[in-house]
Amino acid sequence: GYDLDAFYLSAKEVGGDYFDLIPIDKSKLGVIVADVSGKGIQGAMIMTIMRTVMNIAAIGNLSCKNCLGRTNRFLSDRIKRGMFVTAFYVILDCRKHKLSFSSAGHNPMLIYRAATKKIELFNPTGIALGFDKGPLFERTLKEAEAELNPGDRFVLYTDGVVESMNEEHEEFTDKRFEDFVIDNAEEDSKTFIHKLVAELKKHQGKAPQHDDITIVTFRRKVLAK
């Protein structure tokens, strides 16, 4: 009952963004997008560790907060001082059409509401992974829920999207991104991402890509009557 697609483009040969789809049980899927503060080999190594831990912690775990907390405890002992990882983790219940989610200092999740043709922003409190070994991270991290109706779309992304710069050092901006989502939310997810990437390239022009770009989007299908 869902149409989904994802896109990743590294700014350098080795990137520091990460996204994953993690089967939790027969009806629930974990969806994560993350961004490490450091780039290059060190950033990629941290994301490799995070992917491994997330996939272990997520199986059968219906709490986004617990899953990120377990990942943070492992990661914080192995991350270089001054480095950190922001992440947004969603559990999609495909039968009940419900989302539960937590944000570790990441960009907000966008949900386009087909009924109103407007966007809602969701970003429960939380600090990035790697800053604190446990108590502060787990005390700060919150978990929230939302429902998806037919035609609704949610979008996860990294800051390389909204901070994409042109030759005049002007960012793409949150506003332009949100306007794009509203104007294109009813496209299939593959077309939605294709058009968004084209829009980012148009804005960037001849300027070099300065940050990794990651986009993951799901749309609840409108079933024929």
pLDDT in tens, 146-160: 999 999 999 999 999
pTM: 0.95
Lowest mean pLDDT among 30-39, 85-94, 168-177: 30-39
CA atoms within 13 A on the CB side of 48: 9
Going by pLDDT thresholds of 50, 70 and 90, the confidence category of residue 33 is very high
Please report where in the chains the tokens 């059968």 appear, as a residue.
Answer: 60
Helix (H, G, I), strand (E, B) or coil at 6: strand
Q: How confident is the model at residue 225 (pLDDT cuts 50, 70, 90)?
A: low
Closest to 30 measured CA to CA, from 110, 100, 95, 79: 100
Most confident segment among 10-24, 33-47, 121-135, 145-159 = 145-159
Amino acid identity at 20: D
In this structure, of 64-73, 75-84, 112-121, the range with the lowest mean pLDDT score is: 75-84
User: What are the residue ranges of helices labelled H in the chain?
Assistant: 40-58, 64-76, 135-140, 159-162, 174-184, 189-204
Per-position b or e across 18-30, b if 16+ CB within 10 A of its CB:
bbbebebeeebbb
